[in-house]
């Protein structure tokens, strides 16, 4: 192998290693959402749902939403939600004591030729309750299906 080819191979390997380092060390350095904002509560709620943490998600529900189902049924439903990898706020609209937050859901690679990433969206509705934002309608409304 000549020097030129060896240089190109070394450069490509260096870029690959740098990319891997960014992926490995870049994860887990996200800041916690601001629970004083509708977007922060919506992100925390949907993140808890995606991690299967029904208890944390339940704590972020408004009292009116809790009347639609029992705590145990809600937690069981949360455990069956598909896991997604990333949530991003697309839009937040606040109108006095109510809010609407649209979240983009970026799914893992589907394994296509270019590693296509799936995309979806959910809309979370919130209301101010005792000075704190709480979810009235989650992005997955079936989580609040009537009892029985």
Nearest-angstrom CA–CA distance, 69 and 74? 7
- Which residues are CB-contacts of 21 (< 8 A; sequence separation ≥ 6)? none
Q: Is the pLDDT of residue 9 over 70?
A: no
| pLDDT reported for residue 36 | 94
Per-residue pLDDT tens digits for 26-75: 444 457 889 999 999 999 999 999 889 999 999 999 999 999 999 999 99
Q: Which helix (H) or strand (E) holds 114?
A: none
Mean pLDDT, residues 21-28: 44
pLDDT of residue 24: 42
Question: Is the pLDDT at 19 greater than 70, yes or no?
Answer: no
Q: Encode pLDDT of 88-147 as tens digits.
A: 888 999 999 999 999 987 766 655 555 555 678 889 999 999 999 999 999 887 888 776
Closest CA to 103 of 135, 68, 59, 65: 135
- State the pLDDT at residue 15: 59
Of residues 13 and 140, more confidence is placed in 140
């Amino acid at each position: 192998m000549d020097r030129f080819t060896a240089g190109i191979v070394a450069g490509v390997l260096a870029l690959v290693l740098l990319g891997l380092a960014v992926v490995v060390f870049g994860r887990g350095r996200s800041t916690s959402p601001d629970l004083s904002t509708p977007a922060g509560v919506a992100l925390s709620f949907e993140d808890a749902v995606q991690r299967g943490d029904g208890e944390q998600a339940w704590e972020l529900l408004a009292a009116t939403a809790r009347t639609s189902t029992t705590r145990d049924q809600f937690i069981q439903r949360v455990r069956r939600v598909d896991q997604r990898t990333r949530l991003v706020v697309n839009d937040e609209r606040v109108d006095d004591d109510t809010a609407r937050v649209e979240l983009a859901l970026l799914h893992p690679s589907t394994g296509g030729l270019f590693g296509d990433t799936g995309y979806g969206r959910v809309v979370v509705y919130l209301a101010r309750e005792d000075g704190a934002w709480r979810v009235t309608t989650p992005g997955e409304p079936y989580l609040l299906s009537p009892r029985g």
